[in-house]
Structure 1
Amino acid sequence: MQYRLAQEEGQGATVRRSIGGREVSYFDPFLLLDAFEVQKPAGFPDHPHRGFETVTYMTEGKFQHEDFCGHRGEIRSGDLQWMTAGRGIVHAEMPSGYGVNKGLQLWVNLSETNKLVEPSYQELLDKDIPKININDNKVQIKVIAGRLFKFSSTGESHGTVSPVRTRTPTIYLDFTMKENAFVEQKIPNEYNVFVYILTGEGYFNKAPGSTNQTLIFNQEGMSKKIKFVGDFIKVETKDSQLRFVLIAGMPLGEPVARQGPFVMNTKEELQKAFEDYFSFKNGFEKAKNWESQISRNSD
């Protein structure tokens, strides 16, 4: 369990990094989770990626996105962008308007067989992300990725499924709970799981958690991990409302070589990623002389 202080990232942006920092540098298959807060003219100007996926989920405000292939768009509060960087993307992410813009960015590692796939996007508006209300409408769940498993006294039934296709098996759920509410979430035992609390207070398998805390489940060697109850995570609230995301994934079990914006399997592959980027080849050809409009117009 950890509480992360804010740090600066990009160009004047503020982030709380719970995965990808000193305490938990890699939680297979997750490379990073940043809770970001950005106001103009700050943002994330032109930068490259290779070898993984970035998942941007807005919780307040709106962000623009533009890449060197001409893909450009905007994600607003509640919207999702699932970007597969694959063999190479150079892009920019900047706030669309004035005021506070908040969200989460998750980095999901790709297996060796998928490291160099062609870049692609999956983008969902808030209205298109499946939602269910359970337990007398005290709990709402948004199914951002994966399948929601619902249970009753008569046994298991498969619930809502996200339209997002994940190359690395991933579950991403957004829970909003009222006071004095309870919910159980089934997670496959072989998955690594963590929770990031956006607001409020609650109890996760009886362990307390509150705003901006990250709770780690099922990770060997973690002295402060929280144990599963069977293959469930049980969450309850008392006098406080609670909003949190639950993120789980199938570990890849592969070596990781990472530096800055590139994540490969070996040091040699990592060195080649930098060479390709600076030489404008093998996926980075369009980076030569490219500059995003949204970075130029960020003031």
Structure 2
Amino acid sequence: MSGTAISKLLREPRLVNRKFQARPQHEGVGAVVRRSIGRFELKYFDPFLALDEFSVSAPAGFPDHPHRGFETVTYMLQGAVTHEDFEGHKGTIRAGDLQWMTAGRGIVHSEMPAAEGTQKGLQLWINLSSQHKMIEPRYQEIQSKNVAEAENDGIKVRVIAGEALGVESPIYTRTPTMYLDFTLKPGAHLQQPIPPTWNSFVYVLESEGIFGSLKSPSTTPHHLLLLGSGDGVEAWNKSSKPLRFILVGGQPLGEPVAQFGPFVMNTQEEIDKTIDDYQQYTNGFEKAKNWRSQSMLELDL
């Protein structure tokens, strides 16, 4: 789709409402993440629970831990990470690959470095509606070569979820979501439609760009921009280097959120029940009783 065709769709471009810098913090065992959504300044941006830009080198990582009630999207930027869980699922995702995991009623898994040096990537937590929180866990994994891509007028996009520049992702999203990885050459101007009722944000990965309005100041890496209302977003690369950022949008659930670490439900009673299920190895956590990841077993040797 050409820039001219897209411009006719943006009758009300979204402006930047708020801006946050993702600051480093420790998570897992020895890992460092830059968390933007999920910090005290921004606990929840319906339907998004957390966004981490992670950096981890062996032996650090994210050993055996549980989840319930939401989805995680892991998108590798550098290196490789191996995932394994108590259902017997195991796989390695490398730079450009992604894993869309629906934790549903319960999963216990590990995410550990699988290459030399530093592994870098993004992990997004997407809430599930009350009717989907207790579904069976499932995975969608896509290798980099199979990620939908398009390029036009100095704009390249990798379509993790949703649609852009006339191409669509094969990923199925229970909570309607768009997840786009854009690279703009110097001088490029993007106009990307977003469903008007969805919440959306931008996270800058490389170089600097202008978003929402030409009057806005440039935004540099590790900054999250919450976008206001409208039917799309505009971005400009006025720098001399390629600008890379992700644009993420999702349909708000409009439901109460009760969270205790890796468990996200609708009420405190459901959280209490989840903790009990996990501790008693019931209601979806039965296999956790006798399971440990290979990486944990190796540490015991």
The code of the aligned residue for 1:235 comes to A
Using the TM superposition, give the Cα deviation of residue 241 of structure 1 relative to its aligned residue in structure 2, in angstroms. Answer: 1.9
Residues 166-245 of structure 1: pairs in structure 2 closer than 5 A: 166-206=173-213, 207=216, 208-218=218-228, 230-239=230-239, 240-245=241-246
CA gap of 1:295–1:197, structure 2 versus 1, over 3 A, is farther
State how far apart, in whole Å, the 2-side matches of 1:143 and 1:297 are: 37
State how far apart, in whole Å, the 2-side matches of 1:97 and 1:132 are: 29
Deviations 1:107-147 (A, max 9, x none): 00000000000000000001101000011xx1100110012
Deviations 1:154-202 (A, max 9, x none): xxxxx21100000000000000111111111000111000111111100
Runs of 4+ more than 2 Å apart: 294-299
Contact kept in structure 2, 1:86 and 1:116, CA below 8 Å: yes
In structure 1, stretches of 5+ residues that fail to align are 151-158, 219-227
Residues 240-255 of structure 1: pairs in structure 2 closer than 5 A: 240-255=241-256
Query: Equivalent pairs: percent with the same residue?
Result: 55
The code of the aligned residue for 2:155 comes to V
Which among 38, 42, 48 is matched to residue 20 of structure 1?
A: 38
State the partner residue of 1:144.
160
Using the TM superposition, give the Cα deviation of residue 5 of structure 1 relative to its aligned residue in structure 2, in angstroms. Answer: 1.6
1:9 paired with 2:27, answer yes
Using the TM superposition, give the Cα deviation of residue 298 of structure 1 relative to its aligned residue in structure 2, in angstroms. Answer: 6.4
CA gap of 1:197–1:298, structure 2 versus 1, over 3 A, is farther
State the partner residue of 1:76.
94
State how far apart, in whole Å, the 1-side matches of 2:193 and 2:223 are: 21
State the partner residue of 1:276.
277
State how far apart, in whole Å, the 2-side matches of 1:147 and 1:294 are: 37
1:46 paired with 2:64, answer yes
Deviates more, 1:17-26 or 1:231-240: 231-240
The code of the aligned residue for 1:83 comes to M
CA RMSD of aligned residues (A): 1.2
State how far apart, in whole Å, the 1-side matches of 2:103 and 2:155 are: 34
State how far apart, in whole Å, the 2-side matches of 1:4 and 1:55 are: 18
State the partner residue of 1:160.
167
State how far apart, in whole Å, the 1-side matches of 2:157 and 2:110 are: 30
Using the TM superposition, give the Cα deviation of residue 27 of structure 1 relative to its aligned residue in structure 2, in angstroms. Answer: 0.2
Contact kept in structure 2, 1:140 and 1:177, CA below 8 Å: yes
State the partner residue of 2:48.
30
State how far apart, in whole Å, the 2-side matches of 1:205 and 1:293 are: 47
The code of the aligned residue for 1:297 comes to E
Deviations 1:24-45 (A, max 9, x none): 1000000000000000100000
State how far apart, in whole Å, the 2-side matches of 1:236 and 1:298 are: 48
Contact kept in structure 2, 1:200 and 1:242, CA below 8 Å: yes
Residues 258-277 of structure 1: pairs in structure 2 closer than 5 A: 258-277=259-278
1:287 paired with 2:288, answer yes
State how far apart, in whole Å, the 2-side matches of 1:231 and 1:47 are: 39
Q: Does the residue aligned with 1:8 lie in a helix, a strand or coil?
A: strand
Count, aligned residues: 278
State how far apart, in whole Å, the 1-side matches of 2:30 and 2:271 are: 27
TM-score (norm 1): 0.91
State how far apart, in whole Å, the 2-side matches of 1:297 and 1:234 are: 49
